[in-house]
Chains A and B, each alone.
Chain A
Amino acid sequence: MNKTNTKIQIKNLHKAFNGKAVLSGINLSVAKGESLVIIGPSGTGKSVLIKNILGLIKPDQGKIYIDSIETTHLSESERQPFYTQMGMLFQGGALFDSLSVWENISFGLMESQKMPEDVAREEAISLLKAVGLSSKIADHSPADLSGGMQKRVSLARAVATKPKIMFFDEPTTGLDPIMAETINHLIIDNVKKLGATAVTITHDIHSASMIADRIAMLYDGKIVWEGTKAEFEKTKDPYILQMKNRSSKGPIGN
């Protein structure tokens, strides 16, 4: 892979919590404009991995490069320019409960891009429609929404500033299959249209093969399989086969 074409690079990343190793030597890179999907069983550290990339968790060991700049040791203020070009959908939504739905969606637009309030509100409402929600909920509190609705509002918030790097932590979990399909398309559209780089975590194999250019599987603190979408479809790798077949027999869980 050409160096200048690499958006995110992770080298030998280690992270343990209270002596319990979660990530033990991750090497992974994502090319500019590429959509990487990370799959893997529950509790293997997928969320921890992307929080490390975002600088929300400090790694114990290893280096992370964004646009070839090492970010692991940056201070909070040095990190600001990176955050302005990133968007993140948190697994739990993480909506601000002191703000209304539309204020959540346009938060980045108003606070960091200084967009005037009335324009930002219009923008928020059109994003609401894009994630399949009615503009009627714009003034509601996030706490009044269902889990699936919160997730979609959170997705709208993550893409509102048109970030160059997007992270989606289980964007379709908890949605009905039809809505999940809408969200898959929305992610593809956002990534392709904006030429953004995307890292998506999912348990949904169908969604993975729709969104991904490349797929990596995390298991037991390591990347155990990595390949293109075409390779993913053909591979006889026991880990991937077990995930695909939803089988309890195989290398995972033993």
Chain B
Amino acid sequence: MEHFLFSLGHFTLNVFETAGRFVSFLLKVIKSSVRPPFYPKLILKQFFRVGFYSLPVVGLTALFAGMVLALQTYSGFSRFSAEGAVSMVVVISMVREMGPVFAGLMVAGRVGAAMAAELGTMRVSEQIDALKTLAVRPFHYLVAPRVIATVLMLPLLTMVADIIGVFGGFLISVEQLGFNPAIYLQKTFQYLETIDVVSGLVKATVFGFFIAGLGCYHGYYSKGGAEGVGKATTLAVVSGSVVVLLMNYFLTELFFGA
């Protein structure tokens, strides 16, 4: 019993310590993002890596998500003759949920992992220390550009995902389920409200901050050679994906909760 209590205490302390360290890391990230020196060239480079190169995978997942949404809604709603709602369900699900969440998960896998691996390698090979001795501050030079780029790019990726997803639903509805294209499109936009789109983009912004924050955090504090870097990469992806899903719930509650 005593042993159990001891372990429990130890575990709790560990959790608080890690949480505290992560929060102070995020505060430092924010501080170094808004204060000079700024590195616009590095931010631009990250724009490409986070945004442009994520387009194919985000586009592909969004396309299939939209397609499956149309199929499922049709088959479910036809049970009570509500097939007419397919276009609304597709667009609302897409912009509120599927767009930001799928873009977030894909970016957590692609970008969060890459950030953890890069910074982790730089840490264990002393490149981060070398940066400091050359009078360049690693938070400004390495972390801030990555976080800024992800925070700005994820909403854009989400917008692309929204459009492609809606298009996927349209494709299936018109080509396979026999909807009239003009009426389908008209209904798509008829009931869509600004808040649906905006809430999705706000979600994406928050996801971007945490995905890049976690990727950089795990990389920045990794230790113990190649094994440590591998662990950091795994942790970045897992924690990034979990945070996307948890945050998604709470933000939904915030926007649409009763």
When each residue 85-100 of chain A gets 1 if its CB lies under 8 Å from chain B and 0 otherwise, what string results? 0111010101111100
Instruction: State how many angstroms separate the Cβ of A73 from the closest Cβ of chain B.
Output: 17
Q: Is A94 a contact of B136 with CB atoms below 8 Å?
A: no
A162 within 8 A of B: no
Contacts of B118 in A (CB 8 A): 98
Contacts of A86 in B (CB 8 A): 133
Chain-B contact segment, one of A26-34, A105-113, A185-193, A202-210: A105-113
B187 within 8 A of A: no
Q: Is B132 a contact of A83 with CB atoms below 8 Å?
A: yes
Give the interface centre of B122, B126, B130 by most chain A CB atoms within 10 Å.
Answer: B130
Instruction: State how many angstroms separate the Cβ of B34 from the closest Cβ of chain A.
Output: 14
Instruction: State how many angstroms separate the Cβ of B33 from the closest Cβ of chain A.
Output: 15
A54 within 8 A of B: yes
B129 within 8 A of A: yes
Q: Is B135 a contact of A112 with CB atoms below 8 Å?
A: yes
Number of interface residues of B (CB under 8 A): 17
Instruction: State how many angstroms separate the Cβ of A51 from the closest Cβ of chain B.
Output: 7
Q: CA of A92 to CA of B123 in the docked complex: distance in angstroms?
A: 12
Which residue on chain A has the smallest CB distance to residue B126? A94
Contacts of A87 in B (CB 8 A): 133
Q: CA of A205 to CA of B176 in the docked complex: distance in angstroms?
A: 82
Q: Is B134 a contact of A94 with CB atoms below 8 Å?
A: no
B110 within 8 A of A: no
Instruction: State how many angstroms separate the Cβ of B132 from the closest Cβ of chain A.
Output: 6
Q: Name 30 interchain pairs, CB-CB below 8 A, sorted by A.
A: A51-B129, A54-B132, A56-B129, A76-B139, A77-B137, A80-B135, A80-B137, A86-B133, A87-B133, A90-B129, A90-B130, A92-B125, A94-B126, A94-B127, A94-B129, A94-B130, A96-B122, A96-B130, A97-B121, A98-B118, A107-B136, A108-B134, A108-B135, A108-B136, A111-B134, A111-B135, A111-B136, A111-B141, A112-B135, A157-B134
**What residues of chain A have their CB less than 8 Å away from a CB belonging to chain B?**
51, 54-56, 76-77, 80, 83-84, 86-88, 90, 92, 94-98, 107-108, 111-112, 157, 161
Q: A90-B126, A97-B127 are in contact. List 12 more A-B contacts (CB 8 A).
A: A54-B132, A94-B125, A94-B127, A96-B130, A96-B131, A97-B121, A98-B118, A108-B135, A108-B136, A112-B134, A112-B136, A161-B134
**What residues of chain B have their CB less than 8 Å away from a CB belonging to chain A?**
118, 121-122, 125-127, 129-137, 139, 141
